[in-house]
Amino acid sequence: MTCEVATSDEHAGGTVPTTTKVVEMHIHLRTATVISVISVALTSLLTACGGSNGEAGGGTNAAATAFTYTGSDRDTYLADCAKKEGSVTWYTSLAGGVIDDMIKAFNEKYPDVKVKTFRGDESDITSRVVQESQADRLQGDILELSSDAYRELADIGALATFTSPVTAKYSERFTLKNDEGKILGIGDRASYVSFAYNTNKVPEADVPKTLDDLLKPALKGKLALTDSTTGVRFIGNVLTTLGEDAGKAYLKKLGEQNIRIESVSGSALAGLIAKGEVASSPGIFRNHAQQLIKDNSPIKWVAIEPVTANVGYAGVFAKAPHPCAAMLLTDMLLSEDGGKIYEKKQYPRPDEDLGFRSWVPDETYKTAKDYEKAFTTWQELFEKTFS
């Protein structure tokens, strides 16, 4: 039995409905279901596979060679091998045009390699991979998803170590390594979450620049958050930034600001702000606001430090069915050309200096279990604060 797992981060782009229902006396946290599904699925696979120490390499000699080959003929070797493989399957949480543009660029270089994709949320992808792995028919070759889920997969040994000519360009902060210092994943794109507002609803003088500014009387009744992962991570940001005791005291005050809780995605909430149906929110993705600004919507995005960063990581499955093609597609995501495609869709590299400090929710936790425990605490506090 091959033991490989894939999962996915929250919605990272694409078109979503903006019709919404406000949750008043109770909060339906969609995240709770997703976290539970992932936890159960990964535990099931880890048990089936007899455990793991997080050490992953190529599952076959072919995979090990493809993932670590450094010869001067590397490009030719991988291209010839990938042509014989004929296809590559990419599991990702990305959505919309960025996927299409990346595949188009890849096929311009490698026209004989068909790129298949499976795009879904965390529970969709995890369930699929669990079923495939149990049947010894996992089809995924390459994985691109948020850092918290990615690190969880690394912990159970689902991912292979690899080398690429472009990895040296990335900082240690966004390079995931195993205990031997070998690369398991690279942070290839980031999206940032902070404050956005409708310029017709919130005067410039009332726009917050710090967390404390969100407590201004002028903003009472004008703030909203989603009940998704984004909203829960806002709680984590506050507790990490201010400390647990000061953070809880702050959240108690924030709860008195009559914050609306919307049962929608982050991009849908940004759309509501652009329409003027919601005045503002400290939980809006920068790339969503940028797209609305391009459409001449009356919305602005402001960085309240530290800005929450949703970092996507790229890497390969330990026993990818098409290791050569998987390595070439990974090269594309991490390459300069791949970076330009991401940038065009408002996904900068996580190393890029945008003029503000960022906070990556999982990076201060030693293990995925530690992060899961912290996330559950944030989730409970979210419910307590805003119910």
User: Domain of 251: which CATH number?
Assistant: 3.40.190.10
- Whether the pLDDT of residue 346 is over 60: the answer is yes
- Whether the pLDDT of residue 22 is over 70: the answer is no
> What pLDDT score does 51 carry?
45
> What pLDDT score does 148 carry?
84
Which two structure tokens, joined as six digits, stand for 300? 């602005």
Give the chain's mean pLDDT: 85
Considering the domain boundaries, does residue 365 fall inside one? no
> What pLDDT score does 152 carry?
79
Mean predicted confidence (pLDDT) in 193-203: 98
How many structural domains are present in the chain? Answer: 2
- Whether the pLDDT of residue 20 is over 70: the answer is no
> What pLDDT score does 108 carry?
98
> What pLDDT score does 212 carry?
98
Phi and psi of 379, rounded to 5°?
Answer: -60, -45
Mean predicted confidence (pLDDT) in 173-185: 95
- Whether the pLDDT of residue 318 is over 80: the answer is yes
Mean predicted confidence (pLDDT) in 208-217: 98
Identify any residues that bridge with 311 across adjacent strands, giving them in sequence order: 190
Considering the domain boundaries, does residue 317 fall inside one? yes
Which of residues 70 and 34 earns the better pLDDT score?
70
Q: Which residues contact 126 (CB under 8 A, 6 or more apart)?
A: 5, 6, 7, 8, 37, 38, 41, 42
Mean predicted confidence (pLDDT) in 187-207: 97
For residues 229 and 104, state if they share a domain.
no
> What pLDDT score does 123 carry?
63
For residues 46 and 171, state if they share a domain.
yes
> What pLDDT score does 350 carry?
96
For residues 304 and 316, state if they share a domain.
no
Could you read off the pLDDT of 288-314 as tens digits, one per residue?
999 999 999 999 999 999 999 999 999
> What pLDDT score does 257 carry?
97
Considering the domain boundaries, does residue 8 fall inside one? no
Q: Which domain holds residue 57?
A: 31-190+311-353
For residues 40 and 172, state if they share a domain.
yes
Could you read off the pLDDT of 37-81 as tens digits, one per residue?
555 555 555 554 444 444 444 456 777 899 999 999 999 999 999
Start-to-end CA span in the chain (Å): 46
> What pLDDT score does 57 carry?
41
For residues 325 and 303, state if they share a domain.
no
> What pLDDT score does 36 carry?
52
Mean predicted confidence (pLDDT) in 275-291: 96
Mean predicted confidence (pLDDT) in 148-165: 86
Mean predicted confidence (pLDDT) in 200-226: 98
Instruction: Dump the DSSP string for 253-271.
Output: HHHTT--EEE-S-HHHHHH
Instruction: Dump the DSSP string for 161-202.
Output: ----TTGGGS-GGGEEE-TTS-EEEEEEEEEEEEEEEETTTS
- Whether the pLDDT of residue 334 is over 90: the answer is yes
> What pLDDT score does 373 carry?
95
- Whether the pLDDT of residue 258 is over 80: the answer is yes
Considering the domain boundaries, does residue 217 fall inside one? yes
Among 13, 233, 33, 3, residue whose Cα is nearest residue 123: 33
For residues 301 and 319, state if they share a domain.
no
Stated pTM of the model: 0.83
Specify whether the CB–CB gap between 220 and 259 falls below 8 A. Answer: no
- Whether the pLDDT of residue 169 is over 80: the answer is yes
- Whether the pLDDT of residue 7 is over 70: the answer is no
